Chain A
Amino acid sequence: MKTKRFWLRTAILALMVAAIGYTIYANFFTEKTSVKIGDEAPDFVLTDLNGNKHRLSDYRGKGVFLNFWGTWCKPCEKEMPYMNKQYEVYKKKGVEVLAVNVGESELSVKKFVERFGLTFPVVIDKQDQVMNAYDIGPLPTTFLIDKNGKIVDIITGTMTESMVQQYMERIQP
Chain B
Amino acid sequence: MEHVKCECGHVNPIGTVLCESCGKPFEENAPALLDMRYEGSARRSQTYNKTIIDKVWNFFSSVKVGVWLIVITLIASAIGTIYPQEMYIPPTVTPAEYYEEQYGWLGKWYYQLGFHDLYGSWWYMLLIALIGVSLVICSLDRVVPLYRALKKQGVTRNEQFLRRQRLFSSSHVDNYEALLPQIKEKLAKHRYHIREENGNILAEKGRFSRWGPYVNHIGLIIFLIGAMLRFVPGMYVDEVFWIREGETKEIPGTNGKYFLKNEKFIFQVYEKEKEKKVFQEAIDRVGSGMMAKNYQTNAVLYERVGPIIPGEKPKLKKVKSFSIRVNEPLKHDHYALYQVDFKLNELSKMSFHLIDKQTNKQFGTITVDLLQPKDEYDLGNGYRVQLLSYFPDFYFDEEGNPATKSKVPNNPAFVFKMITPDRPDGEVSFTAIRQTIEPLGDNKYKMAFAGMETRNVSALTVRRDFTLWILGLGGAIFMIGLIQGMYWNHRRIWIQRINGEVLVAAHTNKNWFGLKKELAKICEGTPLVMPVDQADKGR
Residues of chain A touching chain B, judged by Cβ–Cβ distance below 8 Å, are: 1-2, 5-6, 9-10, 12-13, 16, 19-20, 22-24, 26-28, 34, 42-46, 55, 70-72, 74, 102-108, 110-111, 123, 125, 127-130, 132-133
A42 vs B44: C-alpha distance when bound (angstroms): 54
A43 vs B256: C-alpha distance when bound (angstroms): 12
CB pair A23 B405 closer than 8 Å: no
Chain A residues with Cβ below 8 Å from B278 are none
For A104, give its contact among B53, B387, B407 (CB under 8 Å). B407
B232 to A, closest residue via Cβ: A26
Residue B422, interface by CB 8 Å: no
CB pair B250 A129 closer than 8 Å: yes
Instruction: Say whether, besides A23-B228, A133-B256, A107 and B125 are in contact (CB < 8 Å).
Output: no
B33-41, B129-137, B176-184, B498-506 - interface stretch? B129-137
A46 to B, closest residue via Cβ: B311
For A125, give its contact among B56, B311, B373, B404 (CB under 8 Å). B311
Residue B393, interface by CB 8 Å: yes
A70 to B, closest residue via Cβ: B407
CB pair A107 B387 closer than 8 Å: yes
Known: A5-B44, A9-B57, A26-B231. 13 other contacts (CB 8 A): A10-B53, A12-B137, A16-B132, A27-B120, A28-B122, A70-B406, A74-B397, A107-B372, A108-B392, A108-B407, A125-B311, A129-B311, A129-B312
Nearest CB of B to A156, in Å: 12
CB pair B57 A27 closer than 8 Å: no
Chain A residues with Cβ below 8 Å from B403 are 72
Residues of chain B touching chain A, judged by Cβ–Cβ distance below 8 Å, are: 2, 44, 48, 51, 53-54, 56-57, 120, 122, 125-126, 129, 132-133, 136-137, 140, 225, 228, 231-233, 241, 249-250, 252-253, 255-256, 309-312, 314, 371-375, 387-390, 392-393, 397, 403-407
A27 vs B390: C-alpha distance when bound (angstroms): 40
CB pair A20 B250 closer than 8 Å: no
Nearest CB of A to B214, in Å: 15
CB pair B133 A24 closer than 8 Å: no
Nearest CB of A to B454, in Å: 18
For B250, give its contact among A24, A43, A44, A132 (CB under 8 Å). A132
CB pair B309 A44 closer than 8 Å: yes
Chain A residues with Cβ below 8 Å from B405 are 72
CB pair B122 A27 closer than 8 Å: yes
Chain A residues with Cβ below 8 Å from B241 are 128
CB pair B390 A105 closer than 8 Å: yes
For A1, give its contact among B2, B132, B312, B372 (CB under 8 Å). B2
Chain A residues with Cβ below 8 Å from B44 are 5
A49 vs B407: C-alpha distance when bound (angstroms): 18
CB pair A42 B310 closer than 8 Å: yes
CB pair B310 A43 closer than 8 Å: yes
Chain B residues with Cβ below 8 Å from A19 are 129, 225, 228
B374 to A, closest residue via Cβ: A107
A102 vs B392: C-alpha distance when bound (angstroms): 14
Nearest CB of A to B489, in Å: 31
Instruction: Say whether, besides A24-B126, A105-B371, A133 and B390 are in contact (CB < 8 Å).
Output: no
A129 vs B250: C-alpha distance when bound (angstroms): 6
CB pair A44 B373 closer than 8 Å: no
Instruction: Say whether, besides A12-B140, A24-B129, A71-B404, A6 and B53 are in contact (CB < 8 Å).
Output: yes
Chain A residues with Cβ below 8 Å from B256 are 129, 132-133
Chain B residues with Cβ below 8 Å from A102 are 407
Instruction: Say whether, besides A12-B136, A24-B126, A45-B311, A128 and B249 are in contact (CB < 8 Å).
Output: yes
For B393, give its contact among A9, A16, A72 (CB under 8 Å). A72
CB pair A111 B53 closer than 8 Å: no
A71 vs B391: C-alpha distance when bound (angstroms): 10
Interface-central residue, A1, A27, A72, by most chain B CB under 10 Å: A72
A42 vs B255: C-alpha distance when bound (angstroms): 11
For A107, give its contact among B54, B133, B253, B375 (CB under 8 Å). B375
Nearest CB of B to A158, in Å: 12
Instruction: Say whether, besides A12-B136, A107-B373, A130 and B311 are in contact (CB < 8 Å).
Output: yes
A-B contact pairs, 30 of them (CB 8 A): A5-B48, A9-B53, A9-B57, A13-B56, A16-B136, A19-B225, A20-B132, A20-B133, A23-B125, A23-B231, A24-B129, A27-B120, A27-B125, A34-B233, A34-B255, A45-B309, A55-B309, A72-B406, A72-B407, A74-B397, A103-B407, A105-B371, A105-B372, A107-B373, A107-B375, A108-B390, A127-B249, A129-B256, A129-B311, A133-B255
CB pair A127 B133 closer than 8 Å: no
Chain A residues with Cβ below 8 Å from B53 are 6, 9-10, 13
Nearest CB of B to A75, in Å: 11
Chain A residues with Cβ below 8 Å from B120 are 27
Chain A residues with Cβ below 8 Å from B2 are 1
A103 vs B80: C-alpha distance when bound (angstroms): 37
